[in-house]
Amino acid sequence: MADRSIPEETAVALVYDGSTEAVMMATPADLEDFAIGFSLTEGIIHDPADLRGLEILPVADGIEARMWLVPDRGREVSARRRARTGPTGCGLCGVESLAEAGRLRQTRPLSDLAPVQGAALLQAMAELDAAQRLGAQTRAVHAAGFWRPADGLVALREDVGRHNALDKLVGGMARAGEVDLSGAVLLTSRVSVEMVQKTASLGAPLLVAMSAPTALAVRTAEAAGITLVAVARRDGFEVFTHPHRVGI
C-alpha cells in the first residue's frame, strides 16, 4: 500500500479585542495572512494599520488568531459583534440579514487593466497549477493566486476551504505591500457570490476560475465591474461579464 499526504483541517477562531467573531475550519498554514485577509474582505478593517496587534496561538481545540483593533475600529466592530461559525467551504458566514447576503462589499475602486490576450490567461492558469505545492501532494485543497501580465504569478495561497485560500491571498498581498492590482485573481474552484465579493474588496478587475460561476456570482461581478472568466481549462474559457478586458 502506497503512502499519501492528506491535508490538515483545524478550527481557527478569529478573535478581536478578546471576543470571537468567527470560527473557520482551515488549513493551519499562513494564518497571519488568513487573519488579515478575512478582516479585510469582511470589512472588519479597511487597512492592516487598523490592527495594532496580531498573535497566532495554539489552544486546546484548535488555533486562535488574536487581533487587537485600533480604538475607532474596535468600537465599530463591538457594535456589530456576534459569534459566527462556518464549516469548510462555507459561504456567507454570519451575515446579519437576507439583504446583506447579496450586498456588494466593495471598499476600493477597481484597478485599471489593459485587455489581456486569451493565451495569456490560459498560461496564467497553467502557472497556478504548477505552483500548487500542497495541492500536488494531497489533491485535496483549493488555491487562489494573483497574476499580473508583466510579472506572472506573484502570489499564491492554498487551503482546504476555497474562501480561506482567497482570504489568505488577500492577506498575504496586504502584508507584502502589494499595491499594483492591475491583474487577475485566479481560482481553482467554482465561483460563488462571496468569491466575487472578496475579489471586489481587493480591487482586482479580473477574476479567472477553473470551474463555473453561479448566476448570482455573475450578476454580482456585472454590478461590480469585474471581468469574470470561468470554466478556464487547457482548451479554452468562457467570459461571463465585462469582456472588454479580454483580448481576442
Residues annotated as catalytic are 90
Residues 191 and 216: beta-carbon distance below 8 Å: no
Residues 130 and 223: beta-carbon distance below 8 Å: no
Paired residues of 147 in beta bridges: 153, 184
Q: Enumerate residues 6+ apart whose C-beta is below 8 A from 232.
A: 121, 122, 125, 208, 209, 210
Environment class of 123 (CB within 10 Å of its CB; exposed 0-12, middle 13-18, buried 19+): middle
Cell of 45: 478593517
Q: Residues 106, 38, 35, 136: is their CA dihedral positive or negative?
A: negative
Residues 29 and 138: beta-carbon distance below 8 Å: no
The two beta strands, 116-117 and 246-247, are: parallel
Q: Identity (one letter) of the amino acid at 30? A: D
Paired residues of 247 in beta bridges: 117
Q: Enumerate residues 6+ apart whose C-beta is below 8 A from 82.
A: 94
